[in-house]
Amino acid sequence: MNKKNIERIAAERIEILIDNALREMHNDENLSQSYAKLARKIAMRVRIRMPYWMRQLFCKKCKQFIVPGFNSRMRIGRAKVKCIRITCMKCNHVYRKLIES
Ligand SMILES: [Zn+2]
């Protein structure tokens, strides 16, 4: 198998895992975390970058899987430059994201 194929299969598996993780978060958080951890592991092993929407589901500090409204808080800043503040409720790390407009 060539590298391109491996990357494609890995990307598919990561997407399925993240899907499952999102679904399980409300039923079984531990299971959800283990799906997400596995997805991260695959991405690192194959050395592919997760798409943006997936990357923002992981806390930059504690690396846990955080879902807005469940274990992370999202606030929209009212400053001139629009940004979102995301608070990880696992480690209380806050990070900002600029909204492109
Ligand atoms: Zn965190």
Share of the chain above pLDDT 70, in %: 98
The domain spans of the chain are: 1-55, 67-101
Residue scoring higher pLDDT (100 or 42): 42
Instruction: Output the CA 46–ligand 1 centroid distance in Å.
Output: 24
E strands within the chain?
72-76, 83-88, 94-98
Instruction: Output the CA 66–ligand 1 centroid distance in Å.
Output: 8
Question: 3-state DSSP call for residue 57?
Answer: coil
Q: Is the pLDDT of residue 101 over 70?
A: no
Give the pLDDT of residue 82. Answer: 81
Is 34 exposed, middle or buried (CB count within 10 Å of its CB: 0-12, 13-18, 19+)?
Answer: middle
Candidate CATH numbers 1.20.5.420, 1.10.357.10, 3.10.20.340, 3.40.50.300; the one for domain 1-55: 1.20.5.420
Kindly report the pTM of this predicted structure: 0.86
Q: Is the pLDDT of residue 32 over 90?
A: yes
Name the residue among 47, 49, 70, 67 with its Cα closest to residue 58: 67
Surrounding residues of ion ligand 1, Cβ less than 5 A: 59, 61-62, 88, 90-91, 93
Instruction: Output the CA 36–ligand 1 centroid distance in Å.
Output: 14
Residue scoring higher pLDDT (2 or 24): 24
Q: Is the pLDDT of residue 16 over 80?
A: yes
> What digits encode the pLDDT tens for the residues 6-15?
999 999 999 9
Name the residue among 61, 63, 50, 65 with its Cα closest to residue 20: 65
Instruction: Output the CA 47–ligand 1 centroid distance in Å.
Output: 23
